[in-house]
Amino acid sequence: MKQLNIASYGAGVDSTAMILKMIEKKIPIDQVVFADTGGELPETYNTVEYMKKFLEKKDIPFKTVRNFGLVTLFNKCITRKVFPDMFKRWCTRDFKVGPIHKFYKTIYKGFKINEYIGIDVAETRRCRTAKEDYITKHYPLVDWKMDRLDCERYIFEKGFPYVIKSGCYFCPFNSLLRWDYIKKKHPKLYRMCKKLEKQSKHYAKGMRLIKQNKRTDDVCGNGFS
């Protein structure tokens, strides 16, 4: 069975460093795939566009995949009156993993896929083996013993533009620092997060988009301020 090397690109620090390092080490990349939820910050979409042009010069194809119907994750949350779930992780399943695997099955049916994922050595707890028999997951940053600081330094040394942390701006996993960044740099998106939280059917039950331990007066007041 023919094998393909596919790099899963999240447009953040780890996956950017991984791709740059794979190219430096001459590890073949047959395809780079980015799953677009529609909810990334503008800075991340700028990184995606830069990476596309960079890879084009290397003759490495770049593919953006989206969920069925091209419905954004934010709009899905508004329609369902929910926000992303930290435990069930339906958002990741439906808007990232699902579209990527659908792409694999549609375009590369019958191929064995080596999927390269950008998880650094400090987050090895997130490494998983694939459930699908046609996919083998690889975590090169773990093999190279590169942590996030190493990745940031490497990206800088390669002359690649500054890369911020990727992920949906309304993600419940956002750190306090990231909420502060969104509030100051993207106030409109921050207001949209306030709307999403208050319109949720779970709001009256005490559930919040920002967890209690991330609610401070200097950043988010009693949640969103």
Mean pLDDT score of the chain: 91
pLDDT digits (tens, 9 = 90+) for 12-66: 999 999 999 999 999 999 999 999 999 999 999 999 999 999 999 999 999 999 9
Find the mean pLDDT for residues 73-81: 93
Write down the pLDDT at residue 181: 94
DSSP per position, the chain: --EEEEEEE-SSHHHHHHHHHHHHTT---SEEEEE--S-S-HHHHHHHHHHHHHHHHTT--EEEE--GGG--HHHHHHHHT----TTT-HHHIIIIIHHHHHHHHHHSTT-EEEEEE---GGGGGG----SSTTEEEE-HHHHTT--HHHHHHHHHHTTPPP----S-TT-TT--HHHHHHHHHH-HHHHHHHHHHHHHSTTGGGT--SS-GGG--TTTTTTS--
For residue 109, is pLDDT > 70?
A: yes
Find the mean pLDDT for residues 144-164: 97
Write down the pLDDT at residue 71: 83
